[in-house]
Structure 1
Amino acid sequence: MSSHTINVGILAHVDAGKTSLTERLLFDHGAVPRLGSVDAGDTRTDSGEVERRRGITIRSAVASFAVGGLQINLVDTPGHPDFIAEVERALSVLDGAVLLISAVEGVQAQTRVLMRSLRRLGLPTLIFVNKIDRTGARHDGLLADIRRGLTPAVAPMTRVTGLGGPGALAVPRAPAGQPFPTDVAELLADHDDELLRRLIDGDGDGDGPGPTPGDLRRRLAEQTRQGLVHPLFWGSAMSGTGVAELVEGVRTLLPRPGARPGGDPRGTVFAVERTGHGEKTALLRLFSGELRERERVTFRRRGPGGASEEYRGRVTGLEIIGAGDGGRGRSGPLTAGNIARLRGLPGVRIGDRLGEPDGTEPRAHFAPPILESVVRPAEPGRERELHAALGELADEDPLIRTRTAGVTSVLLYGAVQREVIEERLLREFGVAAVFEKVRPVCFERPAGTGEAFVEFDPRGPNEWWQTVGVRVEPAPRGGGNVFVRDVEGGLLPRAYFQAVEDAVAATLRRGPYGWEVTDALVTLTRAGYEAPLTTAAHFRELTPILLMTALRRAGTTVHEPGLAVELGLPGDALSPVIGCLSALGGEPGAPVADGSRWSLPGSVPARRLQDLVAALPGLTHGEGTLWYAPGEDRRVRGPVPVRKD
């Protein structure tokens, strides 16, 4: 059993070789008996039928291997932009990351998105350039692209011989006992004045007053763990060259989490799987304390409207992700820093937090879905089966929300995600579904402050047997909805307070214009009841009426989702595309020259994306490329759209 554990994510643009690298790492260290193949559909981490058929990673998966006394848990994440929320959930439980780049395809738009997420979270990151043995592999030009498009703080630790051929090799630039690379030493000195002084005073080869190679390696590890520099390794997952150097980088340069064995167990559920029998299992990273089989647990989560929810259960099965088994698990108490599969929790969801938060757990940051599609069963009469199946899928991905108001709709990130859901509904639940055209989802924000209340009067006639007052006002942007009580806790039984909070969350799902309300601060300003006549149901009935009245008095503004776009264009297409983007209500950014082509960042309203897609081939002679992801929202200009279904 390994004495230390580190949890490392592998991130990349689709087809860069993430799953192949995972297979190579497991095979080279004895965790699996043979190399799996994406083409053959027998990889360890892409276990779902849809994943194997499509050859892409859809859900995060964990596998494990050991190097000496260190257990390395690998988290393989999706590469397609439609599944960016899945990636960001995984980031919240990692100690470090490996960002994979293809030496042939180079830096892609999704690569830049991933790097921005990694840097925003301050997650220590190594870079692995894969496919150096493929025709068309680049070295110097790609290194320049990485420094320009991702980060200038790149520290190449290996070099390549025989680039672009089957005999390509990755070899260390500074083997043990050899002088440290000068360019890496100078990069480290950018963040270390004392090191800069020593480099100026000495030659840095260990023979003079300069820093020794050992000093520089220690500083490299320190700055890597602080997210200041990113060591880069060249290699090939297929041939295995350069992989040993990458593993050594993981072992020596990434931080090992400090164990917090004392106190109550605290952790995060970052993935949900199902067994062949349909039983739900939760992947949990434990940050502190211990967790044992048969222990009772309480998970906390935020509901769709921002209300706090709890889920209680008993762990009937606990399998710790362990080295040497490819991630199948071993029994025993789960300790801080490790990951386990939990069984016996049918109501658990991705994102659930175990224990009271103490502020030390990392948080994922991702935009909510911006698209919606109405879905119906292909066979009339199977509406209940369809809704139940969608509910089970939503448990695995809570950002795929279902909404029923005469029809059932699903919130999505993109068309590929919709296709995957459609396929899983048929394969796993036997329900053929018909999805209507995807449409953007608008939402409402409070424009001002509004109040409403009902006061119970024991001396006169009453329509309501309770007192309730609510105030609604804008909350900080991006923070979601917040419910607070500005009344004494003893005024109502706990069940009545919970009834009010639940009613607030449900009411905010449909504002005055029919769209979901977000970034609202709702305060309970008055509360009272008349025993034994008042029940919790009375509070659930009255609260929505008062809250909707307060919302109308405050006024709401309707906002539409925007998309961040990045276009690759031939040189003569820049001006026409900028004009088209502006005509569609978008905002072009500053173009960046990329050889004979241009890279144009910008934004566009989500509802105009298809217009941009349709116009791009004609404006670029068929040579334009487009990448998009959720971006900044904007207030709707012109007539306000009203949601009727």
Structure 2
Amino acid sequence: TADGSFHPLYHGSALGGQGVAELVEGLLGLVPATTPDTSGGTSGGTSGGTEPHGTVFAVRPGPGGERTAYLRLYGGEVHPRRRLTFLRRQADGRTTEVSGRVTRLDVVGGDATLTAGNIAALTVPGGLRVGDRLGGPTDRAPQFAPPTLQTLVRARHPEQAAPLRSALLALADQDPLLHARPAASGATALLLYGEVQMEVLAATLAEDFGIEAEFTPGRVRFLERPAGTGEAAEEMPWLDRTRYFATIGLRVEPGPRGSGGAFGYETELGALPRAFHQAVEETVHATLMTGLTGAAVTDYRVTLVRSGFSSPLSTAADFRGLTPLVLRRALARAGTVLHEPYQAFEAEVPADTLAAVTALLASLGADFTGTTGGDPAWFVTGELPARRVREAELRLPGLTRGEAVWSSRPCEDRPLKPGNSGPGKGVGGHSGE
């Protein structure tokens, strides 16, 4: 368990409490004690020449809206009033920074300083989320596949719309597998991993917050990636009968797989006031949440290649208004490729049903990676478009007399094959559970 080569598997029910005692016993007996790291990090820290590094594993909201984060420290030390920088991985793959000074530090055990191997409750202005990492990326950081399901949630009673949004954002801070953002018409857009997660969320909203929520049917989440490089620029233009006192040139190009989105500069340092730079960067990431086909754009790099302003006429609003127009033109010139999520599946089927099962999976677009066994059953593995997995799950029992064993998990997405439907064209949802 220490090096990850062995993974204990437990069965139980959180609702009824079955299996909890066995899980606790396994944690105590199988998980090795942590040895404080005194060599990691970079020089310049407080103790032992190391910068502190650790992970936020829980968040609890306070009565005044202040959130208390629970930090497990793996190396270095944390003192009260120390300024810390946490790394947060966003839903689109980008890594952002959350910085602030520790305003409260309660170390388990009563010490004034948090040391390696220990836990503390702390408060940092701006708020922390579960999964935020203190220090640079390490192999301790959990790796989750991107969510494959998207839905919209609204309050059944209009007067609960604002409390619903606040509750969802609070839950997103506590759950790294829940991604929420405001959407049009007062709804909240959610990225999820399956229908079961949606059902649990609805029950949590009703029981803990007293809010009745309605979810739209889950839909598979598509993504766009730049196909090439494109540039566009405008200099103090009149567009749509609006004068923008801003000059912006942007280049869009593909980024490394899994990088999310990145923004950079090729303009001279200080060519724009900081507020204008920030306006361009924030607007770039917000604009690319919707690409050429309506899906979010990911794994991109956008570079500011030209900039200018007119003092005192230019404002940040000019740059926020012009950036989407230039960016859309550059993205269109670069082109995008639409990708859909795939699921890796494993199926154990009776020997006499192999032909029928493989024919079904092939008709659903499966790519097979292995077929082994034969007596008394065949073991079939492969990858299948996520939007077709639910259909396979529903039809498999009829083909195998209910004797099949099926499991699937998210894997890498692939370019959408010609002739298949994309976003907003009636693609059905998938449970993923």
The residue aligned with 1:575 is 355
**Which position in structure 2 is the counterpart of 1:626?**
406
* Residue aligned with 1:417, SS: helix
Q: Within 5 Å, which residues of 2 pair with 1:97-246? A: 237=22
**Is residue 274 from structure 1 mapped to residue 30 from structure 2 by the alignment?**
no
8 Å Cα contact 1:514-1:644 kept in structure 2: no
* Residue number in structure 1 paired with 2:165: 387
Alignment counterpart, residue 15 of structure 1, candidates 2, 8, 11? 11
Q: Once the 2 structures are TM-superposed, how far is the Cα of residue 426 of structure 1 from its aligned partner? A: 1.2
What is the alpha-carbon distance in structure 1 between the residues aligned to residue 54 and residue 308 of structure 2? 37
Quote the residue 1:23 is aligned against: none
Write the distance in 2 (CA, Å) between the matches of 1:56 and 1:445: 43
Higher relative contact order (CA 8 A, sep 6+): 2
Deviations 1:433-478 (A, max 9, x none): 1223222111111112111111249xxx993222211010112222
Tell me the distance in 1 between the aligned counterparts of 2:124 and 2:227: 45
> Partner residue of 2:430?
none
Q: Tell me if structure 1 keeps the 8 A contact 2:38–2:48.
A: no
- Asked which structure has the greater CA Rg, the reply is 1
State the partner residue of 1:641: 422
Q: CA deviation at 1:374?
A: 2.3
Q: Is the 8 A contact 2:60 2:174 kept in 1?
A: no
Q: 1:269 to 1:405 in 2, by over 3 A?
A: farther
Do residues 489 (structure 1) and 269 (structure 2) align?
Answer: yes
The equivalent residue for 2:43 is none
Task: For residues 45-91 of structure 1, give each alpha carbon's deviation from its aligned partner in whole angstroms, at most 9, with x where no partner exists.
Answer: xxxxxx4557588xxxxxxxxxxxxxxxxxxxxxxxxxxxxxxxxxx
SS at match of 2:301: strand
Instruction: Find the partner of 2:98 among 311, 316, 330.
Output: 311
Give % identity. Answer: 42
476 and 294 in structure 1: CA distance in 2 versus 1, 3 angstrom threshold: closer
SS at match of 1:479: coil
Deviations 1:500-533 (A, max 9, x none): 1111111110111111001111111112222222
Q: CA RMSD in A?
A: 3.5
| 2:309 is equivalent to residue 522 of structure 1 | no
Quote the Cα distance in structure 2 between the aligned partners of 1:256 and 1:491. Answer: 46
Equivalents in 1 of 2:5, 2:82: separation in Å? 29
Matched residue, 1:615? 395
SS at match of 2:68: strand
Q: Which amino acid aligns with 2:86?
A: F
CA distance in structure 2 between the aligned counterparts of 1:56 and 1:378, rounded to whole angstroms: 35
CA contact (8 A) 1:563 1:630 kept: yes
1:560 aligned to 336, 340, 343, which one?
340
Residue 301 of structure 1: aligned partner: 88
8 Å contact kept, 1:307–1:502: no
SS of 1:506's equivalent in the other structure is helix
Q: Residue 489 of structure 1: SS of its match in structure 2?
A: coil
Change in 2 beyond 3 A, CA 1:316/1:11 = farther
TM-score by length of 1: 0.57
**Displacement of 1:11 after TM fit?**
5.2
- Equivalent residue, structure 2, for 1:602: 382
Match of 1:332 in 2: 112
Change (3 A) 1:585 1:564: same
Q: Which sits farther off after the overlay, 476-485 or 513-522?
A: 476-485
Q: Which amino acid aligns with 2:399?
A: L
Matched, 1:405 2:184: yes
2:102 aligned partner, one-letter code: V
Deviations 1:25-45 (A, max 9, x none): xxxxxxxxxxxxx7xxxxxxx
SS of corresponding position for 1:540: helix
Tell me the CA shift for residue 640 of structure 1: 5.0
Unaligned stretches of 5+ residues in structure 2: 41-46, 427-433
Evaluate the alpha carbon distance shift between residue 243 and residue 317 of structure 1 in structure 2; reply closer, same or farther with a 3 A threshold: closer
Which structure has more strand as a fraction of its residues? 2
1:345-377 Cα shifts (integer Å, max 9, x gaps): 56212333335x3x6564433211001122222
* Residues 281 and 566 (structure 1), Cα distance of their counterparts in 2 relative to 1, 3 Å cut: farther
Partner of 2:128: 348
